[in-house]
Amino acid sequence: MILSTAQMLEAEATAFAEGHTAEELMEHAGRQLAELVRQFHPTPGTCRVFFGKGHNGGDALVAARYLATGGWSIVLDSVFPHDHLAPLTANQLSRIPSSILGQTRPLVVLDGILGIGMKGDLREPVASAIHRINDLREHHAAWVLAADLPSGLREETVTDPCVKADATMAMAFVKSFLVADHATDFVGRLAIADLPALRAPAESDLAETLTPKILSMPPRSFDRHKGMCGRVAILAGSRSYPGAARLCSVAAVKAGAGLVTLVVPPDCVATLSASVIPEVMVRSLDDFRVLLNENWDAFGIGPGLGRERDEMTCDFLRQSSTPCVVDADALNALAGQMEFLHENAGPRLLTPHPLEMERLYPRKGRNRRQWLSDFVSEYPVTLLLKGSRTLVGNKKTPIAFNTTGHSGMASGGMGDVLTGVSAALVAQGRAITESARLAAWICGRAAELAIRDNTVSQESLTASDVIDHLGRAFLDLRADIF
């Protein structure tokens, strides 16, 4: 669920009335902040803590205490004089070990300056502290984690200055403004601290944020065989774009499909047969509508397909009763012929990036959530709208906001990987919307893992790097990380 600021304050008041204490919530929140730091930075370094006088500052100080016991060096930056601190925050400050100073890498900055109770314009010394955090991120390679919200972010706007975080850990529930379009670049990667004492009011927004706690990935049964893991056909590739077909088919294998066949035009079958991994079968077809009379569990269609077969693509999507993951040139084929989406014979997952979505369904000033909602209200499909906060939804289920990933995924081939992963999950028996939600989270987490060991940067990340880390992403999903 997603809460407004007023609803969050109501949830806190209810918890306190039931006997829970602010100190109890602070301890839980701070411990999970520390766990999130260690999730992204397994090797201890230096954590610089900017804390305000309220309970957000206390959350950050609890995190500092846990990190200190794990070998992290701690640098404390109190934004206000100590005699201005709330009693509980001052108490947490007194519990920080004294001999914890140092300067080692990685450098992590905790933003615990302001919380949801912020009112009025930003004044000193808060504005200067925010500038220092942003300077550390921009010029000193600091990784910034905001407690509950980046200081300076509000429900309707972003103040100047505002902390630009690499990650934000929302306490108990995501607040509505954290997933607003104007907030994405300031919030960064989104995580949620589990605070069981807080319950959402009955009238809360039913939209979901995708985390392992709501995504299901049970272990495979011991007697499972390839025939039980699905047959996937990837309809992709052309002489001009063989790489997209390779990425998509390899991703389908790495996401657990039992059998993966790459279906390509005759003029590129030799090239792709020689270059795909051995686990991918390659088949040459002039007209892939032949597949309509065969037994398949999922199709992935579009990556690198080219535009020469647009009519065939639309006809295939109209006739196939098999679930189809539709991407890239298959989406471009549909643009201008959207009536085909009303005639689908089976489930469809469309995975456009914003430019492809604009061709399908012009935005006309809508925010991303409304854009998706209006589209699925009109067309009987599941839509995965790519972006730095990927959205997944259909007409019958609540919209879901993905939480994983980073800007290193802004490069070619990432969508091809997503299509392959989605098709593999569908083929293994999952509903198409569930598969889309899982695929978005897993691909984003694989991208995070690829840069965690500091041998790959956001700039150097490739789609192949994401494929290489899919296995660990699946393990993390089952491990119930943030």
**Helix H or strand E segment including 174:** strand 174-175
What HEC string does 304-329 produce?
Answer: CCCCCCHHHHHHHHHHCCCCEEECHH
Q: Give the Cα-Cα-Cα angle 359, 362, 363 (nearest 5 degrees).
A: 130
What pLDDT is stored for residue 128 in this prediction? 97
Q: Whole-prediction pTM value?
A: 0.96
Closest CA to 251 of 51, 128, 425, 30: 425
Number of Cα atoms under 13 Å in the Cβ half of residue 251? 31
Q: Do residues 286 and 266 make contact, with C-beta atoms less than 8 angstroms apart? A: yes
d(CA 57, CA 60): 5
Closest CA to 57 of 76, 36, 44, 43: 76
Q: What is the DSSP string of 409-425?
A: G-STTHHHHHHHHHHHH
The per-residue pLDDT string of the chain (482 residues; one tens digit each, 9 = 90 and over) reads 999 999 999 999 999 999 999 999 999 999 999 999 999 999 999 999 999 999 999 999 999 999 999 999 999 999 999 999 999 999 999 998 765 556 688 999 999 999 998 777 889 999 999 999 999 999 999 999 999 999 999 888 888 999 999 999 999 999 999 999 999 999 999 999 999 999 999 999 999 999 999 998 889 999 999 999 999 999 999 999 999 999 999 999 999 999 999 999 999 999 999 999 999 999 999 999 999 999 999 999 999 999 999 999 999 999 999 999 999 999 999 998 999 899 889 999 999 999 999 999 999 999 999 999 999 999 999 999 999 999 999 999 999 999 999 999 999 999 999 999 999 999 999 999 999 999 999 999 999 999 998 899 999 999 999 999 999 999 999 998 99
pLDDT computed for residue 168 by the predictor: 98
d(CA 345, CA 106): 52
2-205 placed in CATH 3.40.50.10260: yes
Rounded distance between C-alpha atoms, residue 348 and residue 341, angstroms: 9
Report the C-alpha gap between 341 and 423 in whole angstroms.
19
Instruction: Decide: 318 and 340 in contact? Cβ < 8 Å.
Output: yes
- Asked if omega into 150 is within 30° of 0 (cis), the reply is no
Integer CA distances (angstroms), 2 to 113, 166, 168, in order: 23, 21, 15
Q: Going by CATH, does the domain composed of 226-478 fall within 3.40.1190.20? A: yes
Q: Where are the domains of the chain?
A: 2-205, 226-478
Written as six digits, the tokens of 398 are: 């609540």
Amino acid in position 245: A
424 backbone dihedrals φ, ψ, rounded to 5°: -65, -40
Indicate the pairing of strand 2-3 with strand 174-175: parallel
d(CA 439, CA 3): 25
- Lookup result for tokens 């985390």: 211
Question: In angstroms, what CA-CA distances link 129 with 50, 217, 287?
Answer: 8, 42, 63
Q: What are phi and psi of 395, to 5 degrees?
A: -70, -25
pLDDT at 105: 84
- State the pLDDT at residue 420: 98
